[in-house]
Chains A and B, each alone.
Chain A
Amino acid sequence: MSEASAFTRETDAEGILVLTLDVPGEKVNTLGRGLIAEFEGILDEVQEDEAIRAVVIRSGKPDSFIAGADIKDFTRIRSAQEGEALSRAGHATLDRVEGCRVPVVAAIHGTCLGGGTELALACRYRVASDDPKTALGLPEVMLGLVPGAGGTQRLPRLVGLATALDLILTGRTLVAPRALKAGLVDEVCPASLLLAVAKQAALGLAAGRLRPRRPGIPLRERLLRPIVFSKAKASVLQKTGGHYPAPLAAVDLVRGGTATSQAEGLRLEAQAFGRLAAGPVSRSLVSVFFATQEIKKDAGYPEGTKAAEIGKLGVIGAGLMGAGIAGVAADAGVAVRMKDSSSAALGRGLGYVHGIWDLRVKRRRLTRLELRQRMDRVSPTLDYSGFRRADLVIEAVFEDLDLKRRVLAETEAATSDACVFASNTSSIPIGEIAQGSRRPAHVLGMHFFSPVHKMPLLEIVVTPDTALEAIATAATFGRRIGKHVIVVRDGPGFYTSRALAAYMNEATWLLEEGASIDGLDRAMTAFGFPVGPVTLLDEVGIDVGAKVAKVMHHHFGDRMSPPPSMERILADGRRGRKAGKGFYTYDGKEKRVDESAYALLPPGAGRLALDPRDTQERLAFAFLNESILCLQEGILRSPRDGDVGAIFGLGFPPFLGGPFRHLDHLGARFALETMEKLRARHGERFAPAPLLVDTAREGRTFHAPRD
């Protein structure tokens, strides 16, 4: 990569140097170390060559300006000092851009993220194309970092505190018109005119004709500084539960930096960047990021396997899952035929997806026209008409083996031989559904998570009979609708439901032993799960949970046996939120623990005060050990898939990097000792997975050590 030049230089008759960045052999431009050296050389030339009157920087990639720093560089940071030095080097380069003898103008088309935005911020002027693909942002916080090339300092000085904090703390991007409104770019124009407009601006700046107004931080924000920052901090703490240091550091940097000089602010930024980059949270988040990239390449079928393009999707069942799947497909432009057995159910399903899109319209994420086009793509039906041309059919009917078998048979009769049939079951083995299938090679599981439009995981479940082409078709479709796709082997509960079942089962045992409902939930949200297990059970439906528990118990025996009181809970009509009655109350305003549920749980109303650390340990290790079993049995193809599945499907804390990263962090020996301790206290369900025993004995890790 360092051999071929990434920049093309072209100086026109008017003395404008147009720098076109096109990193060879890559789909998008990233700012690697080698590139920065080349750029420094160009800056030297600009400094010396009097004939150059202005510089325009643009990208040679079709839809990417600069996607940010090369994240591989981050993984090579061994210490806070190294990270700080990397950031300081970036500062030095961008300070030269900012202080350049001639004006430098950024001509932005396509994604402009992280270091790309920071480069643009250091330029004198920013022109963006009005293409919907043009979006600017600083997503570093998603990798547990703060912007390290001046973003925390130049952005607030350009757009003000509130906008800067919003962008830096959420990592969200702004499309060009919004970036213009926020003051992040100076001008927006059609992509075809981008270079001409940027050149014109460059000449105007050089001649002193164009003097952009830079009002800096507005007076109102300067007066309200303490409130702005305390609100930002409170909101961060509320959203992260204190598990993520980067956003807090970012608030401090914007506050500290804007109270002093930019140079001092940059010094602080480099320190914070170094500290965070070398810290465990960022390492975890970066590993998760790489995992999501790798699963696209190591996708569970040989590269080059032919995937059918989905022109039309059939969905059976218009409930929350079915309608949700129809919705994300329609979002991606796919025509959907949605079948249910009653008009009322179809109507509710259509209303559900309409509600999701309507909310986006209200938030200005979607236009009315786009909403109508999406609604137009979903066509409801009571029979199988319109299925003949479906390339993929996903069933999301009630969790009942006989029903699913019947639906499979009916679908096979109504569809072409090329059609792939997927079950969205969360627990029934696909092999059992596929018994009696005429085309078992085209049957697999596509396990979506609720709510479908928000949960980013798709777990594809394959049987020994499933054809590679069918896997490729389902996985390609999954990625098209924006999901992280893992491919797992068939088995009861596959990976996600099985690991979750072990975790939930342990939670119900804790309730049986006297834990309080809210205490249990609080312990696990403190651990880093987005919701606690009892809340989750209420949301999913206690009856659904019990059904899964039964399947698990049936297959895995005593170690998955549910505590006796769960029967009583169900017999009392407690099915969770949907029934308005569960472990919490759902009558009106505030959700509170339903104290009357304790009457059904030993030892009654007086709950025990348990140490939350014990709760966390038991639940976490139930989850971790089951994950190891899944890996050992080949349900999971790799620890990486387990990490991705747990984080994006089940809300396993991302800052821990997923169950296997977490195990590696704890050490297999420590994990084994903990399992043995729990086994002695709570019985054989904590028998350590043989793979854990081996890994500990051999002193290995689950993931291959990084370079």
Chain B
Amino acid sequence: MTNRRVAIVAGCRTPFARSGTVLRELTAVGLARVAIRELVERTEVDPASIGTVVMGQVVPSVKAPNLGREAALGAGLPTSVPAHTVNRACASANQAIADVASAILLGHVEAGIAGGAESLSDVPILHSRGMARILVEAQRAKSLGGRLSALAKVRPRDLVPDAPAIAEPSTGLTMGQSAEKMAKENGISREEQDEIAFASHRNAWAATEDGRLPAETCAVFVPPAYDTAVATDNLLRKDTSLEALAALPPVFDRRYGTVTAGNSSPLTDGGAAVLLMSEERAKADGYAPLAYVRTWAVAAVDPGGQLLMGPGLAIPKALERAGLQLSDMDLVEMHEAFAAQVASNIQALESEAWAREKLGRSSPVGRVDRDRLNVCGGSIALGHPFGATGARITTTLANEMTRRDAKFGLLSVCAQGGMGFAMVLER
């Protein structure tokens, strides 16, 4: 193995905004572009030294399927810098970071930008299969008559658009239903979920007030008038309370459910990017890296079972690769798709049965100290632009490790398809 290390030099993201609100005029490419450009400007990195750009996106932009390339070009990186786009569902930006880190470890590049973006205000609305077939036929027709006779086949039901749902293709269950299932099967109480949500808002608010999160974000000027500068996240609430959270009705199972809008991550628009370099390059260029990548791991469970338990496998796998224990971690960032999912995974890590049955170990992975968990808030409070979240978490963890002079940090993200991603950072 190589003895190279990957440095996390800096990260930058757009504000995260509820879909359909202040950032709705921007596309995912536009959001990614702003994040990359601002990252390059703030780090003063030589754009020509960037060896590769990898970006994550989950709901693809139909007109710009390779978001990474479009965003890199739009951000003013030299045309000679290659770029690609990855999709590991909600862990896409993590995968992008892992891709760039791999390229650095292999010595293929010395520096790269990784991140991702999502605009859930700008999802592709598809024609029905029937309509699509007719339109293709009409387009291929050689004469006007042929075109008209193809179009004449349109029936009212063909006109119903087909919008993508956040559902699991292999089971048909939506994410919320999956979370609901996990809460019930794992016995996660409504109170515990609301407490996780409350902590998310409280921590996010504190980190916003004292400037820790604003330092990671950059303003987005909204076209076409450009008179609005979106400079702050618009989802987190200062005034939320356990009582207010408790008052919300369950969304996915109105009778017996516990998963509410308050303890789930909302649909969000945003983009984020991270600058990675080889340790030698970072030092040679005079950067003080925030943290280094120790290792990472990806794991997957049967999507037909408990869908969002991936981190329960990925975390021990990453820790094992790192040669470290959960107790060595000074900080832990867990993506909060749902409070129920966070609680279920923590439960699994603490569970002997999970260790025995899923990991083949005799003792549990370890306890997650809540005081070290998501200390700047999580996706419930800040929002969750699928493609960008991983870069937000990595940046925040690295920054917070620097701030606290922490030795080790752990992050995990659950993803559609039963996958989980975990990464260990070190300083």
- To the question of whether A and B form a pair in one complex, the answer is yes
Could you say which residues of chain A place their CB within 8 Å of the CB of B221?
Answer: 343, 346-347, 350, 380
A374 CB to closest chain B CB (Å) equals 11
Known: A348-B227, A376-B76, A379-B37. A385 touches B219 (CB 8 A): no
Chain B residue with the shortest CB-CB distance to A343: B229
Could you say which residues of chain B place their CB within 8 Å of the CB of A564?
Answer: none
A385 to B38 Cα, complex, angstroms: 9
Known: A350-B221, A376-B76. A385 touches B41 (CB 8 A): yes
The answer, yes or no, to whether B33 is at the interface (CB within 8 Å) is yes
Q: Are B76 and A343 in contact (CB under 8 A)?
A: no
Q: Which of A338-389 contact B (CB under 8 A)?
A: 343-344, 346-348, 350-351, 354, 358, 372-373, 375-377, 379-382, 385-386, 388-389
The answer, yes or no, to whether A675 is at the interface (CB within 8 Å) is no
Could you say which residues of chain B place their CB within 8 Å of the CB of A347?
Answer: 221, 225-229
Mark interface residues in A536-571 (1 if CB within 8 Å of B CB, else 0): 000000000000000000000000000000000000
Chain A residue with the shortest CB-CB distance to B37: A379
Could you say which residues of chain B place their CB within 8 Å of the CB of A385?
Answer: 41-42, 44
Q: Are B33 and A386 in contact (CB under 8 A)?
A: no
Q: Which of B209-227 contact A (CB under 8 A)?
A: 219, 221, 223-227
Known: A354-B224, A385-B42. A376 touches B219 (CB 8 A): no
Q: Which of B41-97 contact A (CB under 8 A)?
A: 41-42, 44, 46, 74-76
B42 CB to closest chain A CB (Å) equals 5
The answer, yes or no, to whether A275 is at the interface (CB within 8 Å) is no
The answer, yes or no, to whether B154 is at the interface (CB within 8 Å) is no
Interface size counted on chain A using CB atoms at 8 A? 24
Could you say which residues of chain B place their CB within 8 Å of the CB of A375?
Answer: 223
Give the residue of A346, A376, A380, A389 whose beta carbon is less than 8 angstroms from that of B75: A376
A3 to B231 Cα, complex, angstroms: 69
The answer, yes or no, to whether A439 is at the interface (CB within 8 Å) is no
Chain B residue with the shortest CB-CB distance to A382: B219
Known: A379-B41, A386-B42. A354 touches B223 (CB 8 A): yes
Q: Are A376 and B227 in contact (CB under 8 A)?
A: no
Q: Which of A385-428 contact B (CB under 8 A)?
A: 385-386, 388-389
A591 to B377 Cα, complex, angstroms: 57
The answer, yes or no, to whether A661 is at the interface (CB within 8 Å) is no
Could you say which residues of chain A place their CB within 8 Å of the CB of B40?
Answer: 386
Q: Are A389 and B46 in contact (CB under 8 A)?
A: yes
The answer, yes or no, to whether A337 is at the interface (CB within 8 Å) is yes
A344 to B44 Cα, complex, angstroms: 25
Mark interface residues in B229-260 (1 if CB within 8 Å of A CB, else 0): 10100000000000000000000000000000
Could you say which residues of chain B place their CB within 8 Å of the CB of A346?
Answer: 221, 229
Q: Are B226 and A354 in contact (CB under 8 A)?
A: yes
Q: Are B42 and A350 in contact (CB under 8 A)?
A: no
Give the residue of A358, A376, A379, A388 whose beta carbon is less than 8 angstroms from that of B44: A388
Could you say which residues of chain B place their CB within 8 Å of the CB of A179?
Answer: none
Chain B residue with the shortest CB-CB distance to A386: B41
The answer, yes or no, to whether A444 is at the interface (CB within 8 Å) is no
A372 to B229 Cα, complex, angstroms: 18
Main secondary structure, interface of B, reads loop
Chain A residue with the shortest CB-CB distance to B76: A335
Indicate the size class of the contact surface on chain B.
20 to 34
Could you say which residues of chain A place their CB within 8 Å of the CB of B37?
Answer: 376, 379
B70 CB to closest chain A CB (Å) equals 10
Could you say which residues of chain B place their CB within 8 Å of the CB of A348?
Answer: 226-227
Could you say which residues of chain A place their CB within 8 Å of the CB of B33?
Answer: 376
Mark interface residues in B158-187 (1 if CB within 8 Å of A CB, else 0): 000000000000000000000000000000
A639 to B56 Cα, complex, angstroms: 61
Could you say which residues of chain B place their CB within 8 Å of the CB of A377?
Answer: 76
Known: A380-B219, A386-B41. A358 touches B224 (CB 8 A): yes
A598 to B225 Cα, complex, angstroms: 39
Chain A residue with the shortest CB-CB distance to B44: A388
Could you say which residues of chain B place their CB within 8 Å of the CB of A337?
Answer: 41
A337 CB to closest chain B CB (Å) equals 6
A385 to B215 Cα, complex, angstroms: 13
A449 CB to closest chain B CB (Å) equals 24
Could you say which residues of chain A place their CB within 8 Å of the CB of B228?
Answer: 347
A332 to B325 Cα, complex, angstroms: 56
B319 CB to closest chain A CB (Å) equals 37
A480 to B149 Cα, complex, angstroms: 55
Could you say which residues of chain A place their CB within 8 Å of the CB of B223?
Answer: 354, 375
A136 to B38 Cα, complex, angstroms: 42
Chain B residue with the shortest CB-CB distance to A352: B226
Instruction: Indicate the member of B37, B41, B74, B229 with the most A CB atoms within 10 Å.
Output: B41
A651 to B228 Cα, complex, angstroms: 37
Chain A residue with the shortest CB-CB distance to B48: A311
Instruction: Indicate the member of B37, B226, B228, B229 with the most A CB atoms within 10 Å.
Output: B226
Q: Which of A14-42 contact B (CB under 8 A)?
A: none
Give the residue of B44, B74, B231 whose beta carbon is less than 8 angstroms from that of A343: B231
Give the residue of B41, B224, B225, B227 whose beta carbon is less than 8 angstroms from that of A381: B41
A574 CB to closest chain B CB (Å) equals 28
A539 to B38 Cα, complex, angstroms: 36
Could you say which residues of chain A place their CB within 8 Å of the CB of B42?
Answer: 385-386
B29 CB to closest chain A CB (Å) equals 10
Q: Are A379 and B38 in contact (CB under 8 A)?
A: yes
A354 to B46 Cα, complex, angstroms: 27
A386 to B75 Cα, complex, angstroms: 13
Chain B residue with the shortest CB-CB distance to A388: B44
Instruction: Indicate the member of B74, B228, B229, B231 with the most A CB atoms within 10 Å.
Output: B229
A382 to B219 Cα, complex, angstroms: 10
A379 to B33 Cα, complex, angstroms: 11
A382 to B33 Cα, complex, angstroms: 18
Give the residue of B74, B229, B231 whose beta carbon is less than 8 angstroms from that of A376: B74
Could you say which residues of chain B place their CB within 8 Å of the CB of A381?
Answer: 41
Q: Are A389 and B44 in contact (CB under 8 A)?
A: yes
A52 CB to closest chain B CB (Å) equals 44
B327 CB to closest chain A CB (Å) equals 39
A328 CB to closest chain B CB (Å) equals 17
A564 to B76 Cα, complex, angstroms: 53
11 more CB-based (< 8 A) A-B contacts, given A347-B228, A354-B224, A386-B42: A346-B221, A351-B225, A351-B227, A358-B224, A377-B76, A379-B38, A381-B41, A385-B42, A386-B41, A386-B44, A388-B44
| 18 A-B pairs with C-beta separation under 8 A | A335-B76, A343-B219, A343-B221, A343-B231, A346-B229, A348-B226, A348-B227, A350-B226, A351-B227, A354-B225, A354-B226, A376-B37, A379-B38, A380-B221, A381-B41, A385-B44, A386-B40, A386-B41
8 residue pairs, one from A and one from B, having the closest CB atoms: A386-B41, A343-B229, A350-B226, A388-B44, A351-B226, A376-B74, A385-B42, A347-B227
